[in-house]
Amino acid sequence: MTEFIPPYPPRYKEWPNPLDIIKFARQDLLSFWPSKAFQVQFTGMTILTKGFFLANCPDAAHHVLTQYGHKNPLMRKALAPLLGDVFDSDEETWYKPDSNQSDLFNPELVSLHNETITNATENYIWRWGSLTSAETIKVLPEMRNLTAEISCKLLFNKKLSVEKSREMLGIFSQYQDAVEKMDISLFLGLPGWLPKFGGNPITKAAKEVHKITDDFIAQGTKNDNQDTVLSHLLTVRDGSHPNGLTATQLRNELSMLFMAGQETMANTLSWAWYLISQSPDVEKKLHEELDCVLGERSATLDDLDKLIFTRAVIDETLRLYPPIPLLSREATGYDVIRNREVPAGSIMLVVPWLLHRHEKFWHKPNHFMPERFLEGTRPHKFAFLPFSGMPSECSAQFFGTVVATLSLATLAKNFRLALPEGQVVSHECHLTLRPKNDLPMLITKR
């Protein structure tokens, strides 16, 4: 099987000096890592009196992510304007509703979403089928629209119109754009006197998100939507919420489910189309599996266990392009990791971008090789962290793997996407990792 190496940012021979790291990180979170970062397992440095440690092996990543809870400065700064004191508190109150997510995405309830997923994807078969052969489409916006439709119908209202789901997507995109203009030093706990670049229009964007989410909740509760996530959250009763979720908690939970699920799936599907288009052997094997399993029909949840190679393509895409490529925690007290002292207050970094391409833990780490995820070859759990640190991990995993696999299967069964001649694909990464310039590709029917 031929192997494709997708382009990645240049790697320095040595670590840049601390001020250069800040400068590069303001432009792109993937732009400053040296070659050594893909080899080292645990290291530290000081940036303007603040201690930073890189946990870059499974045991150190496991320690940081499990022992330091969810005190994630980067994610807290990004989401506090949207969720207020619930998320910004040092207590982990925001995660208590999330304890019910394992129930929301259990197999029995997921099976109720089958028709919604299939119908939304089949609408794209009809729409893409009406396009002229070899017409150019912008893949990232296409995948965003598809995933927004699926997410809104699963979360709020199965009868929600496509126009309403796109309105929701537009408002959430405005919030995300505002968050990504925040200065990186705010995320990493650096001194407040550093010069800041970019405005901070997130309060207005957060209010717009609150308004449309409240509207969708109101519409959803009026209709017969027994099989939506909203309907199940309305029945939540546990020790933390004996009277059910408050209106604010309900809004926050659904907002995070939408943001985590929709963004994860759209970016993953977009990267997958690109990688497949550059790997003829992978595309051939994928089409063979889809033709064998699906025949002339669309993929359903019943097919998931048979779509082994399709799922491997999604997993390998998540390895090469993790949705959130940099995670951070704050050391709550003195610690020792790998025989190295970690002072209280240090910023601990777990970087999936590095772990997923680490030379010690992966064979040919920069290659696109879906076969590495086939049965019997699964990686160490804490060497593969596509969803760790995301605000709604269960939601992100469901949308980023289950729904993404089914959507890719149905669409790739019917269409091929190819890069226009001379097209160069690159990334942008301020908080999440996505293709730059909307990823234009040529569409043809199979």
Tens digit of pLDDT for each residue in 72-106? 556 666 677 777 654 544 444 333 444 455 566 66
In a domain, 9, yes or no: no
Q: Which residue has the higher pLDDT, 160 or 322?
A: 322
Given the structure tokens 């409240």, which residue do they identify?
214
Domain that holds residue 181: 18-445
Mean pLDDT (the chain) is 84
Quickly list DSSP for 235-301.
T---SS-TT---HHHHHHHHHHHHHHHHHHHHHHHHHHHHHHHT-HHHHHHHHHHHHHHHTTS---G
In a domain, 328, yes or no: yes
Spell out the SS3 assignment of 185-216. Answer: HHHCCCCCCCCCCCCCCHHHHHHHHHHHHHHH
For 248, the token pair is 């604010």
Does residue 2 surpass a pLDDT of 80? no
Sheet order of strands, 415-418 included: 135-138, 440-445, 415-418
- Cβ atoms of 57 and 360 within 8 Å: the answer is yes
In a domain, 153, yes or no: yes
Residue 275: give its domain's CATH number: 1.10.630.10
| Mean pLDDT in residue range 283-309 | 95
Q: Into how many domains does the chain fold?
A: 1
In a domain, 266, yes or no: yes
| Mean pLDDT in residue range 409-434 | 93
In a domain, 54, yes or no: yes
Does residue 216 surpass a pLDDT of 80? yes
Burial annotation 138-155 (CB, 10 A radius, 16+ → b, else e): ebbbbbbbbbbbbbbbbb
Report pLDDT for 427.
Answer: 95
In a domain, 7, yes or no: no
| Mean pLDDT in residue range 337-351 | 92
